[in-house]
Amino acid sequence: EPMSAALAARRATPAQIAEIHAALAEMEAVSDDGDRFAKPDLVFHQTILRMTGNELIGSLAALVETALVMSFRLSNDNPEGQRHSLPLHREVAEKIAAGDAAGAQKALLVLIDNAEDDVRRSVENRNKRRNDRGQQS
């Protein structure tokens, strides 16, 4: 996906840039509700794939959807919601809109790395709660 962001920065149409900004606005509106955040976040990432203008990359949208849904399920119990991810999403959108391929690629890579960290923390917290319940029994 980071390479797709770079390609999107070179090829995005004004309509696609408007679409990614609309998804970002919806993400901002529901950032404290993990269940509602998932849909516009998915639209955001799928829009990036479509912006590439490459049918093969665009066809990966289903794979990205599966990965994002799994990520949301694993990290949905984050007490901070998803608000902390908004600045990076905004940076990706801004770099794409500015035609900054290297910046879009880098920003999306950081976004993905942070999402991985969120999932890892969430899994660790779930395991800790499970172990704590087991020890109390």
What integer pLDDT is reported at residue 78 of this predicted model?
63
What integer pLDDT is reported at residue 12 of this predicted model?
95
- Reference 115, options 79, 84, 94, 77; nearest CA is 84
What integer pLDDT is reported at residue 19 of this predicted model?
97
Instruction: Decide: 47 and 23 in contact? Cβ < 8 Å.
Output: yes
Question: How many Å separate Cα 128 from the centre of its chain?
Answer: 26
Q: What's the pLDDT band for 75 if we cut at 50, 70, 90?
A: low
What integer pLDDT is reported at residue 32 of this predicted model?
85
Q: What's the pLDDT band for 115 if we cut at 50, 70, 90?
A: confident
Cβ count within 10 A of residue 110: 14
Instruction: Decide: 92 and 48 in contact? Cβ < 8 Å.
Output: yes
Question: pTM of the predicted model, to two decimals?
Answer: 0.84
What integer pLDDT is reported at residue 26 of this predicted model?
97
| 11-45 pLDDT, tens digit each | 999 999 999 999 999 999 998 887 788 899 989 99
- Is the model more confident about 119 or about 92? 92
What is the amino acid identity at position 114? Answer: N
Set out the domains of the chain in order of their start, with CATH numbers: 2-136 (1.20.120.530)
Residues 6+ apart with CB under 8 A from 116: none
110 pLDDT exceeds 80? yes
Q: Which tokens belong to 70?
A: 């799994």
